[in-house]
Chains A and B, each alone.
Chain A
Amino acid sequence: MKKLILLHVLDNVLIVRKSIEAGEQVVINGNLLLFKKGIEVGHKVAARDIQQGEQIIKYGISIGSATENISVGTHIHLHNMKSDYLPTYTLEKEFGNDK
């Protein structure tokens, strides 16, 4: 079973279909990439290199934009992308206290 799936042809992210373990190697677009950290099911990885400020495309539409340059195979989440509408709340950033 493929570990990563492309939901829409326009997407620049792939979705983790089955959790990737730390140290696992996965092929993306013909490149064999080593995942130093594990990535859980449902999370996103870059399908190609993405520039800072570029839109992140999932389901064929923009779900926000990259806050830094992201290389192919990198986990895409709160640390390198943001909403273009409303900031995302997490327990770590509770009430503006960025711990």
Chain B
Amino acid sequence: MTNNSTFKGYLRQDGRKGIRNVIAVVYLVECAHHVAREISSSFGGRQIHLIGFPGCYPNQYADRIMNSICTHPNVGAVLLVSLGCESFNRNRLKDNIEKSGRPVHLVGIQKTGGTRKTIDEGKKWVSETLEKIKAVPLVDMGLHELSIGTICGGSDATSGISANPAVGRAFDTLVAKGAVCIFEETGEMIGLENMMSTRARTPALAGELQKSVEKAAIYYSKMGHGSFAPGNADGGLTTIEEKSMGAYSKSGNSLITGLIKPGDIPAQGGLYLMDVVPDGEPVFGFPNINDNAEIVEMIASGSHLILFTTGRGSVVGSAISPVIKICANPETYDRLSDDMDINAGKILNGHATLDEVGDEIVNKVIWVAKGGQSCSEELGHQEFILTYKKFEPIGPSCLPGF
């Protein structure tokens, strides 16, 4: 690991620190998407990120996630773009952003007088605000103040052998340094519930971890489909248990500190499992319809950056928090090297060990935290998706302090 593992962070008025200073342009219903896109794309740069919620019906989960993301430490200011008649509670969102000390502005398309006038007003506000947020103080920040999420996408059978266990090594180092590390997709822990629960910090948490995976198995059975795509099978993965074992290895060997649900922000460092499967009967469909839906949830729980492993070759990035791509398959790396930050495939070729690639990942985390652009950032990837879900609040035995 590099000796100098401190960097500069943007100090927010709520005391949290960010590694980016993004202006989020937020559409509050699909009907406002085009106007928001025209505003954000007119800046062409990398600092203005377009995010939004497409639905016109209210949803407590989406409301919570959006509030959390708009007050995320990587966000410096927010422009809310409303049509005017949608259900999203724009006033409460605006109040919460204001309370967090960030510049915020709400433009309503119906109120402002249509597409062109709203785009003009939005562009004007973003231009002025870009200048204003240059004044956000930069302060020292260390790994113990960083939150890192991990996800695998476009997995193949090499993912669980090279990239995922290498992320596990990196997580062990980062957890030891006091960082918050989040792993997820309880649907990809199916078959491992007993093994995983032995790593829980307390017996009560062990029971909760077990229950969260049992919930996932029941939910996915009702949906008639596991978290498994045809490309996974082409890449040599045969069953959900096999995929699970590979995915699980991203978590490393640390004790599991807590279980969180999307939007819960861990108050202290440690390793956390995110329970992404909705509670109750399936109402709105699959838990997460794609990888970006999971990335958004980890960002809503505070992740400053995301470690994304892939074997088949996913190219996605994310709005708000940088995504670091770790490629598991040496043949995929050769084809898609422009999109990949780290070649973990060299472990399979015998050119590096898991520990060496684990160290390389930690160094890349520090480099990106210092402002270095990850491949997906540099290529302009800013994917974002938020849909409907339903959750009960997390139980008390899931979090540290009980």
Q: Which residues of A contact B349 (CB under 8 A)?
A: 1, 18
In-complex Cβ contact of B240 among A18, A83, A91 (8 A) = A83
In-complex Cβ contact of B157 among A42, A83, A91 (8 A) = A42
Q: Which residues of B contact A42 (CB under 8 A)?
A: 156-158, 161, 235-237, 311, 329
In-complex Cβ contact of B217 among A64, A78, A82, A85 (8 A) = A85
A-B contact count (CB 8 A): 105
**Interface size, A (range):** 20 to 34
Stretch touching chain A among B82-90, B136-144, B225-233, B252-260: B225-233
Interface of chain A, main secondary structure: loop
CA distance A86 to B263 in the complex (A): 29
- In the complex, the chain B residue whose C-beta lies closest to that of A84 is B241
In the complex the two chains form, is A77's CB within 8 Å of B238's CB?
A: yes
Stretch touching chain B among A20-28, A30-38, A46-54, A55-63: A55-63
- In the complex, the chain A residue whose C-beta lies closest to that of B244 is A63
In the complex the two chains form, is B190's CB within 8 Å of A59's CB?
A: no
Q: Is A68 an interface residue (CB 8 A)?
A: no
CA distance A40 to B220 in the complex (A): 29
Q: Is B267 an interface residue (CB 8 A)?
A: no
Q: Which residues of A contact B235 (CB under 8 A)?
A: 40, 42
Q: Which residues of A contact B220 (CB under 8 A)?
A: 86
In-complex Cβ contact of A64 among B225, B236, B239 (8 A) = B239
CA distance A87 to B217 in the complex (A): 12
- In the complex, the chain B residue whose C-beta lies closest to that of A76 is B238
In-complex Cβ contact of A81 among B217, B225, B238 (8 A) = B238
Q: Is B135 an interface residue (CB 8 A)?
A: no
Question: Smallest CB–CB gap between B299 and chain A, Å?
Answer: 28
Q: Which residues of A contact B331 (CB under 8 A)?
A: 19, 41
Q: Which residues of A contact B161 (CB under 8 A)?
A: 7, 15, 42
- In the complex, the chain A residue whose C-beta lies closest to that of B243 is A63
In-complex Cβ contact of A82 among B233, B236, B239 (8 A) = B239
CA distance A19 to B349 in the complex (A): 11
In the complex the two chains form, is B236's CB within 8 Å of A88's CB?
A: no
Q: Which residues of A contact B242 (CB under 8 A)?
A: 58, 63-64
Given known pairs A17-B348, A81-B238, A86-B221, the reply for A41 and B158 (CB within 8 Å) is: yes
In the complex the two chains form, is A63's CB within 8 Å of B238's CB?
A: yes
Question: Considering the complex of A and B, which 7 residue pairs feature the smallest CB-CB distances, nearest first?
Answer: A42-B157, A83-B239, A86-B226, A43-B236, A42-B236, A63-B242, A64-B239
Interface residue ranges, A against B (CB under 8 Å) = 1, 7, 15-19, 40-44, 56, 58-59, 61-64, 76-78, 81-91
Interface residue ranges, B against A (CB under 8 Å) = 156-158, 160-161, 190-192, 195, 217, 220-221, 225-226, 228-230, 233, 235-242, 245-246, 249, 311, 329-331, 348-350
Q: List 10 A-B contacts (CB under 8 A).
A: A1-B350, A40-B235, A40-B236, A41-B157, A58-B245, A61-B192, A63-B241, A85-B226, A85-B241, A88-B238
